[in-house]
Structures are given as C-alpha cells and as structure tokens.
A and B are shown apart, each in its own frame.
Chain A
Amino acid sequence: MEYFLQQLINGLTLGAIYGLIAIGYTMVYGIIGMINFAHGEIYMIGAFIAVISFIVLGAAGITWVPIMLLLVLIISMVFTSIYGWTIERLAYRPLRGSFRLAPLISAIGMSIFLQNYVQLVQGARVKPMPPMIQGGFTVMERADGFAVSISYLQIIIILLTTALMAGFTLLITRTELGRAQRACEQDKTMAGLLGVNVDRTISLTFVLGAALAAVAGVMVTLYYGVIDFFIGFLAGVKAFTAAVLGGIGSLPGAMLGGLLIGLIEAFWSAYFSIEYKDVATFTILVLVLIFRPTGLLGKPEIEKV
C-alpha cells in the first residue's frame, strides 16, 4: 500500500511532465494534422536553456530559489518558443498543401538536425545539475521504516502543471486566439475568408506548444538533475503516445494521456521490470493506434469517400 502510494506520487509527477509535452503534439495535430516529430527536441532544447540559465543566473548572484526558478522558466519559455516559431516557419509552413507525409518527413529531418546541433554546440556528455530544491514531506511511514514521501519539487511540478493547464484551458476557450485556433482546426480556408490570420494562428500554436515543452524541460532538469542531447527522442515518443492515448486533438485528452503514461511507467518499473518500461510505452502506442485510434477522448473520424 505504502509502496503503491509512493509510485502513485512519482507517476503523477512524471505524468504531469509528459502531459505538458503532449499538449504540443495534440495542438499541432489538431490544427494542421501533422505529427510534429521535432517536438521532443524542442523540449530537449528547453531543458538545455534551463541548465544554461541556471548556471548564468547563479554566476550573476541570483540564488534565491523562487526568483531563480521564475526567471529560468521565463527565459527558457521565451527562447524555446523562438525555436518553435522558427521551425514552423522554415520547415513546415512551405509544406502546407504538399503531400500528406511530407511534413512528417521534414519533421524527422528537423528532429535529427536539432539533436545533432545541440550535440555539436553543447557537447555529447550528460549535463549534471546540482539539486536546487530539496526536502519534502513524509506522508506516512510503515512499521518497517519505509516512508512515503512527496518532495517539494514534486509538489511544485504538479501545482505548476495544474496552474498552466487551467490557464491554458482559459486561453483556448475564452480568448480570441483560442477561437481562431478552433476555427482553423475546423476549416482553414473558411477561417481565412472570415478574417482569421491563419498563418499567425498556426505560428502561435507552435509557440505555445514550445513554451509548454520548455516548462517540461525545466522541470525535468530539476527533477532528474541530468540531461543530454538525446532526451528528446524518448520523451517525445512517450508524450506522443500520451497524446494518442488521450485522443489526439483533444487538450484534456493530452493531459489525461500524460498522467496515464506517467503512472503506467512508474508502476511498470516498480512491479514488473525497469528494462522493459519503454517497451510498455511503445506497446501502448501500437495497441491504441490499432484498436482505438481516436484515443480515450478523441472524436471519431469517418473515412470520406
């Protein structure tokens, strides 16, 4: 029971991070119907910018953790967003109206490019970060001394994710941008005719997705304490699985899928085998796509004839 509870906490933390990345996949898929394969790399870049800005801020004498965390989040979101914007502009926009698989191939190329770019400019070695936020609560303790604990960091991650999700839901349901986005999802030509700036809306979608991925990057840097140029691939596939599981195109679905994938991974590692935890994710991906391609919360698609 205690062990189970501990895995639940760990799984939720992990799931929150996956969920944040998954939103980027799901939004882009919703609006232009492409799998942004390079999104995992965006998250990796977010993590690198986080590490760099932690070091720079530390060197500049800003060591009070809340301020530092806030600044790092902002810096990472801003710079990562610019990456998101540029990638869309250079690698995807020219391909609108090309054959269906072209954007996916371009995204794969972009993903390889970004991975090697970061490896080249930042080195291939893992980047360790000293733990910044330590300590936590002990929720309960078993007679044999096994304690269920939740760290402050885990609380921050879960709270921040919840807050971001709430804000994001408001953004999509209440604002002009959200309306424009949903209009473009339905029918880009019509939206364009009715005065929605389609290009800008799509760009903003990429920017938002990148910003959320950057937050996930910051969190992972803090949570695991090590990053390298290759973390984007697996995290990307897992987040994509989360998006598919939740129902691609659906925002709550992405978050739900993220949580489920996080929990599955935590429990699988705890109770079955840690070596095969990635196989678990891939298997879920394959099974969901084969048996329920609309995911848990997605809308069914009818084959048009």
Chain B
Amino acid sequence: MTAITGTPLLEVEHLTMRFGGLVAVNDVSFTAMKQQITAVIGPNGAGKTTMFNCLTGFYSPTVGRLALHRDEGIFLLERLEAFRISQQAAVARTFQNIRLFAHMSVLENLIVAQHNKLMKASGFSVAGLLGLPVYRKAEKEAVELARHWLDKVKLTKFADWEAGNLPYGAQRRLEIARAMCTEPVLLCLDEPAAGLNPRESGDLAELLIYIRDEEKIGVLLIEHDMSVVMRISDHVVVLDYGRKISDGTPAYVKSDPTVIRAYLGEEEHEELPPEIIRDLPEVAEREEGA
C-alpha cells in the first residue's frame, strides 16, 4: 500500500452491507481526499455500486462509519436520510443507468437540482406565487449556474431540448452537470464512462479534471474503463467479493499482484464487456415496467 496524502474528505470505516445471507460489502475502509479523484474499481459483483448506495443513503449499511468532512463540520452519512445526504452533506451522485427527468428540458433538469436553494428563495412558494423580486433574482442566478455547467458539458445549445431526446453520451454529461448544480463537496459517479466512445471518454476525463482542479471538488468514481481511471485518478481502491484488496496510487495498484489475480487470475473472472453487463439489469427492469 502506498500512502495517499491530502486532507481527508470522506472517511469510510469498516463499511459492511449484508442482504440476508449475502455480504455485498465486507469491512471496507478507505479515505478519499479533498480535491482528488478517487476511483473504486473491481470486477462485477465486487460491491462497488452497493457501496455507493450506502454512501448516498439508498441503503443503510449494516455496520460502518461514513464520515464526510466539511468546513461546517463532520457529517455521518450513515445516519442521514437519503435526501439529506445531498441537502445537508452536499454529496451528489449519478447513476449507472442514467436517471434524468426525461420529459423535462435540459435546463429544467439543472434547475430542479437547485431545488432546496430555490425553495427557500421562493418563500416556500408564497413569494414565488406572488412573483416577488426575491424569487426572480434567485431564479436568474440558478439559470446562470445552470448555464455555467451547460457550457462546461457543451450542452448550451440543447438547453431547451427534452432531456430524453439527447444522445446517450450527452445524457451522461447532463447527469454530471445536474449533480454539480447541487453545489456538492463530493461528487460520486457510478460508471460515468460506460457506453461512451473513446472521444467522449476523453472529454469526460477532461471534465473530471476540471471539476477537481478548477472547482476544487472531490470526486469518487466507480469505473470499468481502465484507461480513464489510470489517466485521471489520484487514488485507486480495488474491491473484490466485497472486500478491499488494494488501495494506493494508480501506478501502485496497476502492479499489485492481488489486483492482477483478481482481474485476470482465475478463469471464472473472465469478464463480459461492460456494455453487455450494464444492459442486462436494465432490460429486466424495463420488463417489470419499473
């Protein structure tokens, strides 16, 4: 293990998640630093997404402490209701199978992301209904923030489109922009490069570097695309069968024999291309009419 230096942003300690008899995440601890890109990698079923869902409040972990350090203090994510994780702890996330508000416009998606701020400005709708200037000003600012991110993800031209009509890669970018509009301190990305072509992955890497270096925000990402991970991460955590097997700089992890064994060692770990894996649960879900 190589030491990662920096100011801690998120400390994960002994995170364990059981579903009945299945242990999806088993005693995982690591620290993500401020202004760094931390990548969580691992073969399918290693517990990456489960860990994400614990972090963002969709599951409550069986055991573990998830401490988020902000200037305002420390937030224990495992104790917060799902919606408060974004509202109070300022942790934003995207989803493996993109979850946009498909019938709303691109701009509206970004405005909805600023809900809590605008809700206060609208006096919980009273000032808004009366059309007071307080709210109009707040809305104008919200649009400006949205425009900033639209420029960054190169979607300004499409601002008034229905989000569902955007091409796939643009939808991924929009989801990141939407998460950024919540003004987070930690951005969690669940396979942002899945389904992107090489050029789009390159753009994505650039965007993430911008977010880290210019916006000064910590990024935690799950990714299969090793070229992206190795290029931009400051810190890589490797999971396998729910356990952490390696943790360190990209260079260290790349040469760690445990990691190589987990990925290539045994025959049964032969992986399907990520595109196919990704599509499988989606198909099932669509059939269920979810």
Q: How long is the Cα–Cα vector from A97 to B286 in the complex, in angstroms?
A: 7
CB neighbours of A32 from chain B (8 A): 289
- CB of A97 within 8 A of CB of B289, answer yes
Contacts A305-B58, A305-B95 known; A100 to B290 CB distance under 8 Å?
Answer: yes
Instruction: Name the CB-closest residue of B to A98.
Output: B289
**14 other A-B residue contacts (CB within 8 Å) besides A100-B289, A190-B284:** A33-B288, A33-B289, A96-B289, A97-B286, A97-B289, A99-B289, A187-B284, A188-B287, A189-B283, A189-B284, A303-B58, A304-B281, A305-B53, A305-B58
Q: In the assembled complex, which residues on chain A have CB atoms less than 8 Å from the CB atom of B53?
A: 305
Q: Find the B residue at minimum CB distance from A198.
A: B287
Please name 27 pairs of A and B residues whose Cβ atoms are closer than 8 Å in the assembled complex, sorted by A.
A32-B289, A33-B288, A33-B289, A34-B289, A96-B289, A97-B286, A97-B289, A98-B289, A99-B289, A100-B289, A100-B290, A187-B284, A187-B287, A188-B287, A189-B283, A189-B284, A189-B287, A190-B284, A302-B19, A303-B58, A304-B281, A304-B285, A304-B290, A305-B49, A305-B53, A305-B58, A305-B95
Residues of A within 8 A of B286 (CB): 97
**For B290, what are the chain A residues with a Cβ–Cβ distance below 8 Å?**
100, 304
- Name the distance in Å between A105's Cβ and chain B's nearest Cβ: 13
Quote the shortest CB–CB distance from A166 to chain B (angstroms).
31
| Smallest Cβ-Cβ distance to B56: which chain A residue | A305
With a cutoff of 8 Å between Cβ atoms, the chain B residues found around residue A33 in the complex are: 288-289
Chain B positions within 8 Å of A, measured between CB atoms, are 19, 49, 53, 58, 95, 281, 283-290
Q: Can you name the residue of chain B whose Cβ is closest to the Cβ of A192?
A: B287
Residues of A within 8 A of B289 (CB): 32-34, 96-100
Which 8 A-B residue pairings sit nearest by Cβ, starting from the closest? A305-B58, A188-B287, A100-B289, A305-B53, A189-B287, A189-B283, A187-B284, A33-B289
A304 to B284, CA, bound (A): 11
Report the Cα distance A188→B49, complex, angstroms.
25
| Chain A interface residues toward B at CB < 8 A | 32-34, 96-100, 187-190, 302-305
Closest to A101 in B: B289
A303 contacts which chain B residues (CB < 8 A)? Answer: 58
Complex formed: what's the CA distance from A182 to B95 in Å?
30
A186: nearest chain-B partner, CB-CB: B284
Q: How far is the CA of A89 from the CA of B61 in the complex (A)?
A: 45
How close is B104's CB to chain A, nearest CB, in angstroms? 15
Closest-by-CB residue of A relative to B99 is A305
- In the bound complex, CA of A156 to CA of B283 (Å): 47
Q: How far is the CB of A201 from chain B (nearest CB, A)?
A: 14
- Roughly how many angstroms separate A97 CA and B290 CA in the complex, as a whole number? 10
Q: How far is the CA of A227 from the CA of B144 in the complex (A)?
A: 66
Chain B residues contacting A189 (CB-CB under 8 Å) are: 283-284, 287
Give Cα A100 to B49, complex, Å: 26
A305 to B93, alpha carbons, bound, how many Å?
12
A residues near B281, Cβ cutoff 8 Å: 304
Complex: how many Å from CA A97 to CA B287?
A: 7
| Residues in A whose Cβ lies below 8 Å from that of B283 | 189
Question: Measured between alpha carbons, how far is A302 from B58 in the docked complex, in Å?
Answer: 10
Q: Specify which chain A residues have a CB less than 8 angstroms from the CB of B287 in the assembled complex.
A: 187-189
